[in-house]
Structure 1
Amino acid sequence: MEEEKVILVNEADEPIGLMPKMEAHEKALLHRAFSVFVMNDKGETMLQQRAEDKYHSPLLWTNTCCSHQRDGESNIEAGKRRLMEEMGFQTELTELFSFIYKAPFDNGLTEHEYDHVMIGSYNDSPNINPEEVADWKWMYPADIKKDIAANPNEYTEWFKIIFERFYGHIMKNTPAQ
């Protein structure tokens, strides 16, 4: 099976080529990615715990799902595809914002991504893919923020970066209770 390729981009998110995913992470090259946050009607965010066999960040908690767009695939199409592959459900997604981040890992790989952050709504339990996801839970964003501060080593590096922006966005765009 051919290794999945990522879309290399410049700082304006313009495609400049394709590269095998591992090579892009080894060379820390900027590539397109997405992060999906699913929330329920109570305002909780669905988190996933990465599977134990993941090549980096195993058993760490992170957003509902994230991955890389395929060549010719829109951000929303990619988010919906990966949400089904990892969490076993579909929902409508809306793109909130995008930004560039860089997160090195202990194993020598680096996430250097032009990340498109999306949100969706769902109120049921997921049907997780055990090859991708070890566990899942609902948490209120304020509780996630507190838990990241208290237990930073239990969360993926990229989630800690992305969550700060996501939290700021939802706090700014949520009417006062």
Structure 2
Amino acid sequence: MPAIEVILVDHLDRPTGKMEKLEVHEKGLLHRAVTVYVFNSRHELLLQRRASGKYHCGGLWSNTCCSHPYPQEPTRDAAERRLREEMGLELALTPVFELSYNLPLSNGLIEHEYGHVFFAISDEPPCLNPEEADDWCYCSLAQIEQEMQANPAKFTPWFLHTFPRIPHTLGDFRLTA
């Protein structure tokens, strides 16, 4: 499998170069990322459990999907591509907010990302790519918050970091399927 390159960026998300994905995570360099949150018509969030074979955070619960744009790939196109590849869903995505974080992972890697967060609405069940995710569920935001407080080790670091912004952002996003 060929090496996958990601886009290095500065703190304003301006591209500064490109580098192989694993090397970027080993060095903790700031790079562009995409994060997708899919809600159903009951305002529940579609979660995925990352496949155990992933190079980091395998077996942990997370938002609907995440990834990185390829160099020269538009950010929304990358989010839509990964939603298809990971969850088998073809949905129109709405950009909602951006954020940056620098989070250590349990295996010595670092998630230092400038993230573009997208929302979508769907009642369609996902069709998981088993190399990416091995389980899914829809949960209310209150259920997720309660489980995060009781068992934070069950969730990816970036989901724990990003999730608190979601309830506040939903007020500006129309949840109608």
Corresponding residue for residue 50 of structure 1: 50
Tell me the residue number matched to 1:76: 76
Task: Report the 3-state secondary structure (helix = DSSP H, G, I; strand = E; otherwise coil) of the residue aligned with 1:86.
Answer: helix
Matches within 5 A, 1:18-167: 18-167=18-167
Percent of pairs with identical residues: 45
Quote how far apart the aligned CAs of 1:170 are: 1.7
Q: What code does the residue aligned with 1:16 have?
A: T
In 2, the alpha carbon distance for the partners of 1:154 and 1:167 equals: 20
Q: RMSD of the alignment, in Å?
A: 1.4
One-letter amino acid matched to 1:127: C
Deviation at 1:167, TM superposition (A): 2.5
Residue ranges of structure 2 left out of the alignment (5+ in a row): none
State the shift of 1:171 in Å: 4.9
Cα distance between partner residues in 2 of 1:14 and 1:70:
14
Structure 1 unaligned runs (5+)? none
**Separation in structure 1 between the aligned mates of residue 86 and residue 170 of structure 2, nearest angstrom:** 24
**In structure 1, what is the equivalent of residue 7 of structure 2?**
7
Give, in whole Å, the separation in 2 of the partners of 1:151 and 1:171.
Answer: 27
Query: What displacement does 1:33 show?
Result: 0.1
What amino acid is the match of 1:3?
A
Q: Give distance in 1, aligned partners of 2:133 and 2:72.
A: 26
Shift of 1:172: 6.4
- 2:146 and 2:52 map into 1 onto residues whose CA distance is 25
Distance apart, 1:168 and its partner CA: 2.4
In structure 2, what is the Cα distance between the partners aligned to 1:82 and 1:89?
9
Q: Residue by residue, what CA displacement relative to the aligned partner does 1:101-154 show, whole Å, maximum 9, x if unpaired?
A: 011012110000000010011102111000110100000111111110111010
Q: How has the CA–CA distance of structure 1 residues 168 and 56 changed in structure 2, closer, same or farther, with 3 Å as cutoff?
A: same
C-alpha displacement at 1:174, in angstroms? 7.1
Where do 4+ consecutive residues of structure 1 move more than 4 Å? 171-175
Deviations 1:158-177 (A, max 9, x none): 100011122221256679xx
User: How far apart in 1 are the matches of 2:18 and 2:37?
Assistant: 26
The residue type equivalent to 2:88 in the other structure is: G
Look up the SS of the partner of 2:24 in the other structure.
helix
